[in-house]
Structure 1
Amino acid sequence: MLKGIPKILSPELLKVLCEMGHSDQIVLSDGNFPTESMGKDCIVIRCDGHGVPELLEAILEVFPLDTYIEKPVNLMEVVPGDTVETPIWDTYKEIVSKYDNRGNEVVGNIERFAFYEKAKKAYAIVATGEKALYANVILQKGVVVD
């Protein structure tokens, strides 16, 4: 155990977050995301039993978002014609706003299949037990500045 590190961040996840460099991306996937097939060429970390919001909050305590791009946080767009509600996105925006002074402006949306293509190129994918639909999020790492 370490002081000041959220307990939800496992040693494996902390190691990956530390290894990641500027512009590397990490996916926080919901329970329906095809994590294993998308993660064939990247690191897959299992965090079953945890939701995306609690992991997002913990990660952003130690993980800087990229300031060199407008949208370092991206959500999977709802497929046209799908009537699914996405209240979890509001939760994500509240969390992101606590850790990035640009607020909601850093959150974008990516079409479903374009999201899959980005996920395949991510440094890591975190598989969660999140039950909300369209709850997938990609974070792009920035630079630690003291």
Structure 2
Amino acid sequence: MLKNLDPLLNADVLHALRAMGHGDEVVICDANFPADSVARATVLGKLLRLDGADSARAVRAVLSVLPLDTFVDAPAMRMEVVGDPHAIPVVQREAQAEVNAAEGRDVPFASIERHAFYARAKQAYCVIATGETRGYGCFVFTKGVILAPDAPKDAGK
């Protein structure tokens, strides 16, 4: 155990999140997502796991150390429900609450059609699979920056 770190975050996940740079993306996915095959195409090239966690718990852990990008319109994205792209299942509402809590502000999810989500996930830095058994517990987050207090506001661009 380490102080001030969510105990869900294992060494592999922490290493990947730290290695990511501004604008890199991390995918958090449910147990139904083709995580292993998609993860092989990512920058990291291997799947990371948080098997004991549901999607909201994994989002809380990851966003406890990962700042979201404030220079893009949609730093948080969700997979659309097939046939009903405007539906927001409970699993996504729970994750939305974790995003807003982590950021201290509303950061609404943008939606991505299922196959476009798969394609985007392959371009991500890494994929983190959870133990989430509900469908549509799949999200993409864009890493932001943490600026020194005296840094210019556009220093991360």
- Could you tell me the TM-score, scaled by structure 1's length? 0.91
User: Partner of 2:9: helix, strand, or coil?
Assistant: coil
What residue is the counterpart of 1:68 in the other structure?
71
The 5-angstrom pairing of residues 1-146 of structure 1 reads 1-42=1-42, 43=44, 44-80=47-83, 86-105=89-108, 107-146=109-148
* Structure 1 consecutive aligned stretches of length 4 or more whose deviation exceeds 4 Å: none
RMSD: 1.7
Structure 2 residue identity aligned to 1:141: K
Residue 59 of structure 1 deviates from its aligned partner by 1.1
Flag the structure with larger Rg: 2
Structure with the higher helix share, 1 or 2: 1
Change (3 A) 1:81 1:70: closer
Asked which structure has the greater RCO (Cα within 8 Å, sep 6+), the reply is 1
Residue by residue over 1:49-72, the C-alpha shift from the partner in whole angstroms, topping out at 9 and shown as x without a partner, is 221111110111110000011111
**Number of aligned positions between the proteins:** 144
Residue 48 of structure 1 deviates from its aligned partner by 1.6
- Could you tell me the TM-score, scaled by structure 2's length? 0.85
CA distance in 1, matches of 2:88, 2:74: 22
Structure 2 residue identity aligned to 1:39: A
Structure 1 residue identity aligned to 2:111: N
Change (3 A) 1:61 1:34: same
